[in-house]
Structure 1
Amino acid sequence: MYQLYLKYKDREFLYIIPLVIFSLSMRLGNFMRIWFSGKGFPDSEDSQWYIEYANALLTNFQIGLHMNDILYFGYNILLTLLLALFKDTVAIVFIQALTAGLSVILVYKIARMLFNRSTAVIASIFYSYSWNITKWSTYILSDSFFISLLLLCVYFLLMSLESKKRKYTILFVMTSLYMLVFRPTGVISLAFIMIYFLFRLDKQTLLDFAKKYRLVIGSIVVAAVAAVIYLIVGDKLNPLIESVQYNAKLVLYNIYAHGWIYDKESTYDYIFKPDYSINILGSLILSFLINNWDDVLILYGRRAIAFLGWWVWETDLSTFRGITRFVWYVLPTVLFLTGTIAAIVNGLFRKVSIIWLVVLAVYAFCILIFIDGMYRYKAPALPFLAIGAAYGVKTIFHGAMTIIKKYAGKLLWDKKKY
């Protein structure tokens, strides 16, 4: 048995297979419970919009230049293809749950590359247990598939940097481009991912690449600039620009102006009297943010706290039940912060900073736009929070074992003296 252990102890599939089974049991188990309950899968106004849009594409394939057409292009096309193939939204929900369950493989591999096997196993368990990831896999929304796409993008990036294989670089570029048009969060997420890419890339390698392909890069840049100028001068981008401005106005005048932390009114909002003057470069957005900068910063501060969850407003430390609830809810944050400090102390932060950059991207998006009441916009950060928290658990466990061994050895030494 010991020989078998030595032979197979480093085979990754022995760890991945049980984790995949566990993750699938959580996702598909929830799918089956809802399906057999007869109550139907959860729905929302956004879900109906996506389904109606996909059906319209099936009837008359036409992509407009509205913000929702462009920034959700990737998901709209994916949903349209799935509806064309399976004809039934229940089948799409099943595929989402299956994809979410299998994505534990990506969580394991990312954590394994950045840290170690123990962290990878713990992170995979945290990911599998995450109720929010299970919940959003049952809605016809872009969130569930986006989480898997984000994990895939980070995985291909790490494989490209670690293995130096061209195929992974190509796959990273492809998933990156798809993320840009999958949903708006993808734009911010990719911006932070590229920071990590440039951070990890050797400067000399970058200079050599730029020198070798300077003509190709220059041609692409010139062509892109010329295309943008043509579209702007020809008023081709007017629908996109107008829709972006309209949506920005909706957020500023309906969310910011009312001091809302979430996408709806709550008792925790910050109420202030906004200045609506448009006096900064003729821009509604700049004028509102600059004229109300102090109130906006306070609103951002409240959102920064609210990002942790609804429990921050409902903490009760006057009762034993309240204290235990607070400890339970704050534990993931403590573990994540422990993992952060440990990564810095152990000199790993440069290598593993992708975890924190992705979380920061989602954090920034929620603070700048708003936090939806069901914390859907926070969901893309959950796998990466799980990895950071897992490293915190690994660090605490390693520290505890070191202390135990130290004092156990001391006790044995004291006994020997007698």
Structure 2
Amino acid sequence: MYERYKEYMRYVHQIYRKCMDVGYPLFLKYKDLEFLYIIPFLYLSLKVRLDYFFYLKSSDIGFPQSPDSQWYLDYARALMTSFKIGLHMDDILYLGYNLLLTLLLAVFKDPIAIIFIQVIVAGLSVILVYNIARMLFNRVTAVIASYFYAYSWDITLWSTYILSDSFFITLLLLSIYCLLKAIDTKKKKYTVLFVLISVLMLVFRPAGIMSVAFIMLYIAIIHRKTMTAFIVKYRLAIGGVVTAAVVACIFLFLNHKLDPLIESMQFNAKKVLYNIYANGWIYDRPSPYDYKYRPDYTINVLNSLILSFIINNWDHVLIIYAKRTVAFLGRWVWQTDLQSVNGIIKFAKQSLPTALFMTGTIAAIVNRLFRKASVVWLTIFAVFVFCIIFFIDGLYRYRAPAMPFMIIVAAYGADRGIRLVWIVAKIMMGKLSRYGRRKSTDCSSGIQ
């Protein structure tokens, strides 16, 4: 029996050697071809999204609907009938998405076809996640981030709504990718693409304004020389565009063309203050975790409703912001149960992404990668600030644009955790090996 086992192991060893003789040179030759790592996750990401798409399409549930979805569709159909863009806040600040939806609806007719395109685009965006993580951190982080992204429920969910969120997430990823490539390669095409995408994000949805502002802050602080060189090189074009924009705004303002935009923005601000802030809501509807207080509605600061409310109720507003900061992690923070084993296990699973994110953040600071990769944290912070200032919607839709970047940081945290475990395991194995090889002292215990 032992001889048969030895023969079997000898045969296995020969096969292993032959595989290594052929496979290892191939591995060395192709190990740096990134697309070989991307392909499995591209398949996985598309499969997860398409499986959910066809499940909804074939089931009685149907695709999810929201009042906003119907508004977007009605607006797009109205644009196709009579192409007229107003100066209301929803006309201007959602111009990019409204035009894109109108174009897609004119070409494909059926909203389900548009959802299918969103699903495909969301699935393909794993390529951007991989490349951003690879450029800022390393290949292991890119692989883990791609896996996390492929199974991200937020990305899958919002790709099945007729809303601006899914396309905006891809635009945000694409802008960061083009920015990093422009900085790394100095190629003009990436700079042009980044500028065009940034301009589109400004009018794609309101959150785009804050996202672009924080991305510009990253460039101004971290890559000041690059930004200065760009401005000097294209100073005439930039000066002309800025001057034309200022003149156009002054002309429109003096002729009262901007009145609908200003009035609609003031009306929406008033709705947020008096319906969300005044009621102490964390979300866009009442919840058991809201903060109840008696607001001061006095308008006594520069005749401004907004400034007066914020200043007169600053202590209460800070408490609301603090509650939203906690709520940004997810509804699970309010529903933790540490009194039972199942509750502790559930809490551990739900808090794991947060723990990985914090680990990745600390590791980036310790390894001096935080400055280089700070655009990821600034993008997350832009979304965070938007949610804190306005509100966190009940389904965490407004948080969705931050998810790919939170995934990248969490993936780096997982990478560091795996490396730490591997180092500890090697140390332990080394100690055990030395213990097993120590010389005999020829002593007996004396116990017979």
Which TM-score bucket, shorter chain as reference?
over 0.9
Distance 1:405 1:338 in 2: 22
1:221 is displaced (CA, Å) by 3.3
The match for 1:253 among 274, 281, 284 is 274
Alignment partner, residue 323 of structure 1: 344
Distance 2:229 2:206 in 1: 33
1:210 is displaced (CA, Å) by 4.2
Query: Which secondary structure does the structure 1 equivalent of 2:371 belong to?
Result: helix
Query: Which secondary structure does the structure 2 equivalent of 1:322 belong to?
Result: helix
What is the identity percentage for the equivalent residue pairs of Structure 1 and Structure 2? 62
Query: Which secondary structure does the structure 1 equivalent of 2:286 belong to?
Result: coil
Distance 2:433 2:257 in 1: 80
Query: Using a 3 Å threshold, how does the CA distance of structure 1 residues 92 and 262 change in structure 2: closer, same or farther?
Result: same
Alignment partner, residue 383 of structure 1: 404
Matched, 1:279 2:300: yes
Matched, 1:357 2:378: yes
The match for 1:60 among 74, 77, 82 is 82
Distance 1:213 1:166 in 2: 12
Distance 2:52 2:258 in 1: 44
- Written as runs of structure 1 = structure 2, the 5 A alignment for 1:296-311 is 296-311=317-332
Alignment partner, residue 191 of structure 2: 169
Task: For residues 61-112 of structure 1, give each alpha carbon's deviation from its aligned partner in whole angstroms, at most 9, with x where no partner exists.
Answer: 1000000000000110011001100100110010010110000000000000
Query: Using a 3 Å threshold, how does the CA distance of structure 1 residues 97 and 211 change in structure 2: closer, same or farther?
Result: closer
Query: Which secondary structure does the structure 2 equivalent of 1:344 belong to?
Result: helix
Alignment partner, residue 201 of structure 1: 223
1:211 is displaced (CA, Å) by 4.4
Matched, 1:373 2:394: yes
Work out whether residues 219 and 227 of structure 2, in 8 Å CA contact, stay in contact via their aligned partners in 1: no
Question: Which is worse superposed, 212-221 or 190-199?
Answer: 212-221
Distance 1:39 1:210 in 2: 53
1:145 is displaced (CA, Å) by 0.7
The match for 1:413 among 420, 434, 437 is 434
1:216 is displaced (CA, Å) by 4.2
Matched, 1:401 2:426: no
Larger radius of gyration: 2
Query: Which secondary structure does the structure 2 equivalent of 1:300 belong to?
Result: helix
Matched, 1:104 2:139: no
Alignment partner, residue 17 of structure 1: 39
1:11 is displaced (CA, Å) by 1.3
Q: Letter of the aligned partner of 2:357 in structure 1? A: F
Query: Which secondary structure does the structure 1 equivalent of 2:372 belong to?
Result: helix
Alignment partner, residue 146 of structure 2: 124
Task: For residues 253-272 of structure 1, give each alpha carbon's deviation from its aligned partner in whole angstroms, at most 9, with x where no partner exists.
Answer: 00000000000011110011
Task: For residues 329-349 of structure 1, give each alpha carbon's deviation from its aligned partner in whole angstroms, at most 9, with x where no partner exists.
Answer: 110000000000000000001
Distance 1:192 1:372 in 2: 22
The match for 2:167 among 135, 142, 145 is 145
Distance 1:351 1:368 in 2: 28
1:391 is displaced (CA, Å) by 0.1
Work out whether residues 359 and 413 of structure 2, in 8 Å CA contact, stay in contact via their aligned partners in 1: yes
Q: Letter of the aligned partner of 1:384 in structure 2? A: F
1:196 is displaced (CA, Å) by 1.2
- Written as runs of structure 1 = structure 2, the 5 A alignment for 1:230-245 is 230-245=251-266
Q: Letter of the aligned partner of 2:331 in structure 1? A: W
1:197 is displaced (CA, Å) by 1.5
Q: Unmatched 5+ residue regions in structure 1? A: none
The match for 1:295 among 307, 316, 319 is 316
1:215 is displaced (CA, Å) by 4.4
Question: Which is worse superposed, 218-227 or 11-20?
Answer: 218-227
Distance 1:357 1:71 in 2: 22
Task: For residues 226-268 of structure 1, give each alpha carbon's deviation from its aligned partner in whole angstroms, at most 9, with x where no partner exists.
Answer: 2222221111110100000000000000000000000001111
Question: Which is worse superposed, 207-216 or 60-69?
Answer: 207-216
Distance 1:17 1:208 in 2: 37
Task: For residues 357-376 of structure 1, give each alpha carbon's deviation from its aligned partner in whole angstroms, at most 9, with x where no partner exists.
Answer: 11101110100000000110
Q: Unmatched 5+ residue regions in structure 2? A: 1-22, 440-448
Matched, 1:114 2:140: no
Alignment partner, residue 337 of structure 1: 358
Q: Letter of the aligned partner of 1:289 in structure 2? A: I
TM-score by length of 2: 0.91
1:224 is displaced (CA, Å) by 2.7
Task: For residues 40-76 of structure 1, give each alpha carbon's deviation from its aligned partner in whole angstroms, at most 9, with x where no partner exists.
Answer: 2111101100000000001011000000000000110
1:312 is displaced (CA, Å) by 0.8
Work out whether residues 149 and 407 of structure 2, in 8 Å CA contact, stay in contact via their aligned partners in 1: yes
Q: Letter of the aligned partner of 1:229 in structure 2? A: I
Task: For residues 313-335 of structure 1, give each alpha carbon's deviation from its aligned partner in whole angstroms, at most 9, with x where no partner exists.
Answer: 11111111111111111100000
The match for 1:29 among 51, 54, 61 is 51
Distance 1:270 1:187 in 2: 29
